Structure 1
Amino acid sequence: MKRFASVAFAALLAPMAAFAGPQYVDETGFAVSGFDVVAYFDLEQNAVGEKQTAPVPGKKSITADYNGATFAFSSEENRDKFTADPAHYAPQFDGHCAYGVSKGGKVPANPNLWRIVDDKLYLNITPVVVGFWEEDIPGNISLAGSNWPGIEGSDASTSTIPKYTSDAPQAD
């Protein structure tokens, strides 16, 4: 089963299209699909193997730019926290799937599949990938950190990327 999943995941890594800027931005036009990256740090985090709490949608009128992208926030207070230290709150690996980076690829991530580890936000692409990621979170973080400098500037793949619904960002 793991071999099949690895082959399927490898297919996701085939480059298809480039994204402008280093931060991953999807069709919403916002980083992290318009979810408030500061709010993740205030959410109750569920145990490994359990689905995470839903992220908090940002508002179109409360934004800040960082790393070539626009981030949306649910409050001005959260925006101000972000602008004071954006590298702390922005997701690791420019918002790409952390497990994908650990395997040497760069694919978009689903902001509903998140985890805070050592006060850093990590995102993944599918629930199946989350399972692989959670088998060895420290090891996967270490591998991703080693791989990232070699793939950071490469294009992300959009082939067969699973779609999810997003309520973010919200109108005021």
Structure 2
Amino acid sequence: MRKFALAVGLSAALLSGFTIIPAFAFDENSTAAINVDESGLGLRGYDPVGYFEAGAPTKGSADMTAEHNGVTYHFASSENRDLFVANPSKYAPQYGGFCQMGAALGKKLDGDPAVWRVDGDMLFVYAYPAAREGFVQDIPGNTQKADTNWPVIKDKAPNDL
């Protein structure tokens, strides 16, 4: 019952426009389909390969970068950078690095790289822990909603949703 109440409360807060997301250079007026900061950096500088190889968020280095779809990613090692360059679609976060639960609710919320989940060979980030907890309560249903909503919302500004 507690988990259901958490999911309902999160959904109501997100749908009402109320968010408890800290500000991190997230542009609520941007229509970009990929979540980047003002310099074009994705995942706030975290290494996208680290989630798969280290099993944890790993801060990357500005001295070790690669670009994919106009986004710059930082890497913790040259090995991770090379893995990414060889197969960027495997490592880049889904939903452009926006929150997966937000996508399920028809919103573009800033994804926090410290709040994440790997499912199979895909990386997902969430706005905050309650968003991830709510999402995993119904992974198939929420995934279907997110996949249906994403093509409709991806090129819209978060403020317009």
Shorter-chain TM-score above 0.5: yes
* Matching of residues 1-172 of structure 1 within 5 Å: 1=5, 2-10=7-15, 11-12=17-18, 17-19=28-30, 21-26=32-37, 29-44=40-55, 53=56, 55-157=57-159
When the two structures are superposed, what TM-score results if normalisation uses the length of structure 1? 0.76
Query: Contact between 2:41 and 2:71, CA under 8 Å: does it hold in 1?
Result: yes
Q: Which runs of 4+ in 1 moved over 2 A?
A: 1-7, 16-22, 26-29
Shift of 1:29: 5.0
By percentage of residues, which structure has more helix? 2
Change (3 A) 1:20 1:142: closer
Contact 1:124 1:130 in 2 (8 A): yes
Distance 1:60 1:35, change over 3 A: same
Corresponding letter in the other structure for 2:33: P
Root-mean-square deviation (Å): 2.1
Q: Give the paired residue count.
A: 146
Match of 1:163 in 2: none
Gap runs ≥5 in structure 1: 45-52, 158-172
Once the two structures are superposed, residues 41-69 of structure 1 have per-residue CA deviations (whole angstroms, 9 ceiling, x without a partner) of 0234xxxxxxxx4x100000111111221
SS at 2:66's partner residue? strand
- The superposition leaves residues 48-93 of structure 1 with CA deviations (integer Å, 9 ceiling, x where unpaired) of xxxxx4x100000111111221100001111111111111100000
Q: Residues of 2 paired with 1:133 and 1:120: CA distance?
A: 15
